[in-house]
């Protein structure tokens, strides 16, 4: 009986490893798809009401929370407030990541004052 146990273990370990890796990849793809769906929901909500003034992106930090990063025009507080309200509403309506908390990170929007040909000397 003991002589049969070794070959069985040798046959099961590689199979179990492959199954575990497939499950890990499947889970990672589901999280990525949920991030994309959340980003699309927030972007659609903002663009529907305010137009294409911001472009939010979603990312998942390693072993951490999901983050919604939005570059906003900080010199226009009314727009920033409305963008936050719309993003929060989209996350609450089901655009969120299945029961996970999402951090909303605001960064300053780059200046658009200079055209490509108008560079300072």
28-62 per-position pLDDT tens digit: 898 888 888 888 988 999 999 888 888 898 888 77
pLDDT at 98 exceeding the cut of 60: no
Query: What is the band of 95 on the pLDDT scale with cuts at 50, 70, 90?
Result: low
Ranges of each domain in the chain: 2-108
Q: What is the CATH number of domain 2-108?
A: 3.30.300
Range name among 52-61, 63-72, 73-82, 111-120 with the lowest pLDDT average: 111-120
Distance CA 45, CA 92 (A): 12
């Amino acid at each position: 009986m003991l002589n049969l146990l070794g070959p069985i273990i040798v046959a099961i370990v590689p199979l179990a490893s492959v199954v575990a890796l497939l499950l890990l990849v499947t889970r990672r793809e589901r999280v990525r798809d949920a991030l994309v769906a959340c980003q699309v929901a927030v972007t659609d909500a903002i663009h529907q009401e305010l137009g294409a003034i911001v472009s939010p992106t979603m990312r998942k930090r390693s072993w951490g929370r999901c983050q919604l990063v939005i570059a906003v025009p900080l010199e226009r507080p009314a727009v920033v407030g409305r963008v936050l309200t719309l993003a929060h509403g989209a996350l609450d309506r089901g655009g969120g990541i299945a029961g996970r908390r999402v951090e909303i990170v605001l960064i300053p929007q780059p200046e658009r004052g200079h055209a490509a040909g108008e560079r300072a000397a």
